[in-house]
Structure 1
């Protein structure tokens, strides 16, 4: 009877670990400190959001800019891109999943400050990589007010 109780307790512990699998959420802005504009660049350029406010589950890497799915599930991502108006350069970024462009946020105005935003819910497998790329020939602004941000969280596992 004692051996059977130990087996059941081990099974319950394993189920608890599976049930608590991951609580995953992150939010970061582009610049760790100061103020600045990135770009324009003549190619798509990966963005690294360095000022991390939240990184529950440590699935977002502020050194690479990559979010790597720790569990299979539905995840929601949002991104906000800010820039000062410019005659020749808009502001924009693309949400990328495993190298595939998913959605873009883009705006272009000749003067003043503008921003664009987008979001998506994605089914991710363990190890899938999600990140942002700066759009070709665009500019992105950020400062201590954190205008340009990237966030995501696990909605539910599957």
Structure 2
């Protein structure tokens, strides 16, 4: 037996085993990194799927959310004044310029919020010389802001606007004060408008 030859063979086998161990360690490390990459990819796919499902399930809501707006003048035709009477009166704006989302009711003068969100409202009122005019914007029957004119020396307009956070079903309207009046004609001096800024 050639001891030197056998020793050389043994040495070569040890070197090959060491290289195999190094290769195996490298493969295991790459496998762990690959598993981590796959896991991250799966998480991203699940997140995108959830987002996609949300959009699909709420497509109608997202569509409606961009389309709530109205604008109306007090008189649909002719000219004249509303009031004065001894009690406060909800103004009914019958000349509808736009009613996207159908949230404004031209029979009652009330806008009913179709969804929770932040809304903007603006109203105008016109008065003549020597008359009293006062109109308030109401949210669920509670005054939010008002325009007022006490016997002006010339005809004039007054306006006010406000941004409000509404819940679904909240009602907005304008109210003429008792013993005051507003004027309107084909020029729609007295008007009421509002729109959804963004849902919340």
Q: How does 1:104-115 map to 2 (within 5 A)?
A: 104-115=146-157
Distance in 2 (CA, whole Å) between partners of 1:50 and 1:69 is 19
Residue in 2 aligned with 1:35? 79
- Mapped pair 1:69 → 2:113: yes
Distance in 1 (CA, whole Å) between partners of 2:152 and 2:166 is 38
- Of residues 105-114 and 123-132 in structure 1, the stretch that sits farther from structure 2 once superposed is 105-114
Q: How does 1:142-157 map to 2 (within 5 A)?
A: 142-157=184-199
Q: How does 1:83-122 map to 2 (within 5 A)?
A: 83-86=127-130, 89-122=131-164
Residue in 2 aligned with 1:21? 64
Distance in 2 (CA, whole Å) between partners of 1:11 and 1:78 is 34
Q: Which is helix-richer, 1 or 2? A: 2
Distance in 1 (CA, whole Å) between partners of 2:55 and 2:175 is 43
Residue in 2 aligned with 1:79? 123
The alpha carbon displacement at 1:138 in A equals 0.9
Q: Give the alignment's TM-score, normalised by structure 2.
A: 0.71
User: Is the partner of 1:58 in helix, strand or coil?
Assistant: coil
Residue in 2 aligned with 1:44? 88
User: Is the partner of 2:60 in helix, strand or coil?
Assistant: helix
Distance in 2 (CA, whole Å) between partners of 1:25 and 1:18 is 15
The alpha carbon displacement at 1:110 in A equals 4.2
Say which one has the larger Rg.
2
Residue in 2 aligned with 1:134? 176
Residue in 1 aligned with 2:16? none
User: Is the partner of 1:18 in helix, strand or coil?
Assistant: helix
Preserved CA contact (<8 Å) 1:21 1:71: no
**Relative contact order (alpha carbons < 8 A, sep ≥ 6): 1 or 2 greater?**
1
Candidates 44, 50, 53, aligned match of 2:97: 53
- Structure 1 unpaired stretches of 5+: 1-6
